[in-house]
Amino acid sequence: MDEQQELSLAVVNNPLKATPGRPMKDGKQILQLIEQQTPIVWCGGLGVQSHDVTICLVPNGFNWQTNEDTEHYREILAVLKVHSDRLSRCSKYFETCLTDRWSRQCSTFVLETVTDTDCYTDCFCRMYALPSHKDFKDVKHSLGLLKVASQIQFPELMDSVCLYLSSKAWSDTDEVMIRLYSACLDFPRKHAEDLMLRLGMDESKEDHHKQLCDMVERCIRTALGYDGNFQSHRALIKEMLPSSGPGSTPSADSKVTRDVITIVSRVAKDMLVNFGQEYDGTTFSSIPRFADKMLAICWILETLLAAKVAEEVVQCFVHLHAFPKILAIESPPPCRQPYYESDIRAHNERYKGQLDARNAAVPLVNLVLVVYREVAAGNLLLKTPGRVALLENWYSLLGQFLSKTDFDRASKDLFSTLPFKQQMELVKSRKDSNYEDYISTDSLVKLLKKEWPTTEVMNVISPPVASS
């Protein structure tokens, strides 16, 4: 039988296929398959001593037929010619297969492939390479190598590939592939200590979750500042919050999203409270980086409102009196004699605090208007004290910046969401307001007719005065 025929055969008495129900038989029986051209790889080259072991690569889980004596493999993907001494030295699996316990006549083995055949060829050829050979191509190929090395128990290669993976920069796709394989049963944990450390697999789930939460919190604090790469961190936070765009699927039920919302809300509230505490009651110029902080506050409110998860932060925001006072600051007086550019610079420097506050007022007013509308529309769920605080703190100030139409419409809609008692308290407390105009005459008449106390109740409330 010539070489080409031999390689087109099914291998019988395969030690790699042995199970307790299928004991090994002595000898090697080979049956000819259908005619096919099978690639042959001579590992280590043809210029060395005779290759005394043949390894046939076959598809994993492919269809094979068996009878009492033979196994017929319908397809052979590739054939590797290897030296037994190299196999015994490098592979603990083949070291066992080639011991005296197995028939010395059996020099042909079958491997069911778990990855591309190129990875098998590379793996067995590395048995002849120097330890300095560290060309692993890329993450995808190196993971294939690692799977083969794990299958045949090649310790040196497993160590090298795992160290390569742990020390290389990953793309998002790389990390997904690595994490998927690290969860498999054949992942060589004993050889991947450094890789497991990078993947966070050396920690308990609780510790790993805590570290992830700390990382998210750092990202949020960076996003709320103007130091470093804050724009990319803002994009990350928006990506992790639920989307409210057209056709989007709400994702707030996932634990990741819920945790991110909780962390973002906590950090945002801390920033709001700290900002209020920094205000000394007289001037905003005492607050370091006042304009940056105001823009950051506007950004986080806008982001949470867009994601429809702003309730907790808005509830904190509406009760802080420092923010409405920003809008109450009057515009600085104009420069009376702007004959020289130096005069204008001096004037702007003198009133810098007021100018910063007034410039911050416009985006803040627009956001509060959005809050008014979202509450009235039922998209932002605030309890009665929060809705009352919105009107108490912002009503008269919004009127200075908004058109009368926008202002009256938004205020009236929000006012209509309050209980009658709170409406009347606002009417009494703010005589300079138009709250009375927001009360519908028809609704008030119906309310009076329906709920006016009866005569008997009135007698209980106000007993008649005894005549003298």
Q: How far apart are CA 261 and CA 91, in angstroms?
A: 51
Q: What is the pLDDT of residue 37?
A: 61
- The residues that bridge with 32 in the sheet, in sequence order, are 9
Query: Tokens 């067995």 correspond to what residue?
Result: 124
Residue 366 CB coordination number (10 Å): 14
Is residue 8 classed as helix, strand or coil in its secondary structure? coil
Sheet with 53-58: strands ordered across:
40-42, 78-82, 53-58, 108-112
Q: Look at the pTM and tell me if it is higher than 0.75.
A: no
The strand pairing partners of 82, in sequence order, are 53
Instruction: Return d(Cα 26, Cα 47) in angstroms, integer.
Output: 32
Q: Could you tell me how far CA 431 lies from the centroid of its own chain?
A: 51
Gap between the Cα atoms of 163 and 140, Å rounded:
15
Q: 3-state DSSP call for residue 376?
A: helix
Look at residue 49 in the predicted model and tell me its pLDDT: 63
- Sign of the CA dihedral with 304 first, then 307, 312, and 317 last: positive
The answer to whether residues 173 and 144 touch, using CB atoms and an 8 Å cutoff, is no
CB-count burial class (<10 Å; 0-12, 13-18, 19+) for 223: buried
Query: Are 353 and 284 in contact, with CB atoms under 8 Å apart?
Result: yes
Q: What is the pLDDT of residue 23?
A: 35
Cα–Cα distance between 251 and 340 in angstroms, integer? 58
- Whole-number pLDDT of residue 52: 84
CA dist list (Å): 258 to 207, 249, 255, 266, 360: 18, 15, 5, 12, 31
**Per-residue model confidence as pLDDT tens digits over 279-316:** 766 666 667 777 788 888 889 999 999 999 999 999 99
- Stated as kind and residue range, the H or E segment containing 95 is helix 92-97
Q: What is the DSSP string of 378-438?
A: TSS---HHHHHHHHHHHHHHHTTTS-HHHHHHHHHHHHTTS-HHHHHHHHHH-TTS-GGGG
Secondary structure (3-state) at 135: coil
Task: Please tell me the chain's helix, strand, coil percentages from 3-state DSSP, rounded to the nearest 5.
Answer: 55, 5, 35
Q: Extract the residue ranges of the chain whose pLDDT is less than 70.
A: 1-37, 47-49, 62-74, 100-106, 132, 226-228, 243-253, 280-286, 326-333, 335-340, 353, 357, 432, 444, 447, 453-468
Instruction: Give one DSSP letter per residue of 250-315, joined into a string.
Output: P-TTSHHHHHHHHHHHHHHHHHHHHHHHH--SS-STTSTTHHHHHHHHHHHHHHHHHHT--HHHHH
